[in-house]
Every structure is written in C-alpha cells, then in structure tokens.
Amino acid sequence: MKGKILILDDNRSVLTALEMLLQSEFEYVYSLQNPSCLVSTIQKHNIDVVLLDMNFKAGINTGNEGIYWLHEIQKYDPTISVVMITAYGDVTLAVKAVKEGAFDFILKPWDNNKLISTLHASMRLRKSKIENVALAKATQNLKQELKPGSQMIIGQSGPMRKVMEMVHKVADTDANIFITGENGTGKELIAREIHRYSKRKNEIMISVDMGAISESLFESELFGHTKGSYTDAKADRVGKFETANKGTLFLDEIGNLPLPLQAKLLTSLQNRTIVKLGSNIPVPIDIRLISATNKNLNNMISDGLFREDLLYRINTITIDLPPLRERGNDILLLAEYYLHKYIQKYDKAGLKINQKAQKKLLKYSWPGNVRELQHSIEKAAILADTHIIDEDSFSLISTASNQRIDLQNKTIEEMETEMILASIEKERGNMSAVAKKLGITRPTLYKKLKKIDN
C-alpha cells in the first residue's frame, strides 16, 4: 500500500514486530520510542498514518500522554489518520481518544489481519481528507474567480438612488428578485450588487444568459442530465441550478425560456428540488433566484408565451432600471468613468471631453443605454488624435435602425413601426424570427403590419 506510517511505542520489541509486519504494507515505515520528536518527524517525512501508543512512561497508564500527542498531531495536520494502540485494560481511554479524533484503536496483543485492515482503512481516510481539502480550496478559488469585480454602480440621479435604496432593502433577504429594463441598462450589475450585499455573498453567483442558449439545450443547461439521457450525453452533467447551490442563480433574459421549461422551472422553485434530464430522482437545491428581462412579460402572458403563475413566483420584488436617457447627469459621470478606464487601457494620458461634446452626450437619447455609451467612449478614446475629445468624435447612430433617433419628435406608434420594419430588414423577412425578436406572436405581428399598411 502506498503511504508513510510512523509507529510510536516505548517498547523496542513492539516496534520491531510492527516494522516487520508493516514494511510490505506501506511505502515507508518509520518508528520512534520517544514522542518528543513526533511533530518534527511527521513534518520531515510527510507522514500519512500514525500508530500511537497510549502510554510512554513506565508505571503511568493514564493514557493522557497518548491523547496529548493525538492533539498535537491534529494541530499540525488534521488530515493525518491516528490509530491508538493500547493494552486491554485501557479500552475506556482508547474510546475516549476515538471520540477526540483518533481513527480507531488496536488492543495488545493484536491480531495481524485486523491491524492491517484497520491501517488500510485509515490510509483511505487520509487520502479522502486530502482530496476534500484540495476540493475545498479549488471551490474557494473558483468562488473568488467568479466573484463580481470592483466595478461600481455609477449614478447620483433620483431614479438610480431609488434603485439602490431598493437593492439595499432586499439584498439581505432570500426573496426572488425580478429586474426589468431595456438592453444595456445594467441588469446583471444590479444582480451582482444584490448578491454582494446578501447573506450568500461568500458563495457563488452563477449567471445564465437565456438568450444565448439554444432551445434544445435549455433543460440540460439548467437542470443537468444523466449519461445516456440523449444521443450526445456521454457523461453525467451538473446543471446551473446545482452549481449555484447555497449561492445565487441569475437568469438573464428569462423571457426566452420556452413554455415547457417554464413549467419545470416553476415546479423546481416550488419544491426546492430539480430533476435532471434522464432521471426521476429529485435533487434538493438551495438558491436565491434573480431574474431579468427586457421584454414585457405581461404582454407575453396575454399572447400565451409566458406563464402567469411563474411570473408571480419570480417577482416577489421587482426592480425597474431606468434607461440612460432618464438619468440626467449620470451620463457625464459614466462617460468620465469609462474615459478614465480607457485612458489607462490605451495609454492616452490627459484625454478630456470638451463641453460641446458633453452637451451632445446629454442631448442624445442612448437607445443602447450604458452599453452604447461605453462603446462610444472607447471608440472616441482610441481614435483621438489630440488630448481633446470634441463633439465630432461621437457619431451617435442607433445600432437598431442605423438612423438618428429623436424621441421627442416621434409618437409611440411611429417608434413601434420603425422597430418592426428594422427587425424585418435585419431578419431578411423571416417573420418567425422577427416575432421572436420583438417578443410577440406571429398573429400579433401580422395585425401590426396590417395596421402599418393601412
């Protein structure tokens, strides 16, 4: 058997007998008559198992010495397996040692087979403990890697102050949170802020972009699967729910979840269990759920695309993020934040945004919200030839329709028409794709097109 064992006994003949017996069972066998060098020997030779006598001084059989040295071993390395060896009359003391952390005890005179079997089992425990320690370290490192970065939530406007007040009120609870807002408003950033202030902050937060998962993989991605549950299932897989156990699960763009999986998600949230694809065994889960969407789920409920009972389940608390155009001078605060970031990244020391450019940023409607602002600042920083970013550095063209948007001069009907026509052009006339993109049914889309034609 691989491993290193250290034998401690004040009787030289006992040591010799045990050395001969165990030399074929362990890679290395070490022995000591005096425990004074115990810890240094363990440290020097990286010992796995210690066979420890209860008494070392002639005429003293209290067993206190053995228990003392057991504690010293545990202080140095709690993964080391300690087996006590004692005379028949000291069984009570040996049992006490087991209660205080020893793996087991062996009585003198010992049975060779039982002794070897006990030491083998103690070695297996040692390996298991080492693996568990390594796994715990790896898990902790993973948690640190997946923790949100140091990016702050920038904003002093009234709407953002209200959002942050709500975040701090609900963070310390386990209530399900539903975050709404347009694309690019920072829904995941708010979710991470909630996790950062929650009771689960030392556990993992798993983010799932529901819009980036193909419909055929939704169930496997969320709940996991067993080997052979479908053609390409070559091995068991742990889903996002199980990975986020004890922590927070963030489901971004939950409006993309297909109806059949909405029912399964609802059941999982109600029962606090999941069932993997290909299995019928419920697996307990303990998560804090945060969901987000840029879609109008009430309209989707009316169109039969989203379950009303699931919406009630996920939106115990709703946080509605304001679009950037409603955040006033936050636009300039964010612009300065991103400018500082890209000054460092692209070595553009001294770069500044002049007043005319600032006015232009404040006047623009930002259909892409904070994400669009960030990209605009990065582009301007990269292309700047001088230390000044002027108004001509920002083209500010809508990415959706490639047209300049002026919300103040458009009605809701005109904006809806523009959005539908732009989506049809982008999807090259694929009405199913257009309807899915807009979050409406095909019949609803055709009704709106008929109204546009009239």
Transcribe 53-116 into DSSP letters. Answer: ES--STT--SSHHHHHHHHHHHHH-TTSEEEEEEEGGGHHHHHHHHHTT-SEEEEESPPHHHHH
pLDDT at position 33 is: 87
Residue 386, class by beta-carbon neighbours within 10 Å (0-12 exposed, 13-18 middle, 19+ buried)?
exposed
- Distant-in-sequence, close-in-space partners of 189: CB < 8 Å, separation ≥ 6: 151, 153
Mean pLDDT per 10-residue section of the chain, whose length is 454 residues: 85 90 91 88 91 69 74 91 80 82 88 91 90 75 55 86 95 95 92 94 90 82 87 83 92 91 92 90 93 93 93 94 94 94 90 93 92 92 90 70 46 78 72 81 78 65
Q: Cα 308 to the chain's mean position, in Å?
A: 28
Residue 197 phi/psi, 5-degree rounding, is -100, 5
Which is it for strands 49-53 and 81-87: parallel, antiparallel or unpaired? parallel
Residues making up the chain, counted from first to last: 454
All domains of the chain in start order, with CATH: 4-138 (3.40.50.2300), 158-320 (3.40.50.300), 324-393 (1.10.8.60), 410-453 (1.10.10.60)
pLDDT at position 65 is: 78
pLDDT at position 410 is: 62
pTM of the model: 0.60
Alpha helices by DSSP H, 272-411: 297-302, 308-314, 330-345, 355-363, 369-383
Neighbouring CB atoms inside 10 A of 74's CB total 15
Question: Looking at this protein, which amino acid is placed at residue 391?
Answer: E
In angstroms, the CA 196 to CA 207 distance is: 14
Rg (CA), the chain: 33
pLDDT at position 404 is: 40
- Residue 289 carries which DSSP code? E
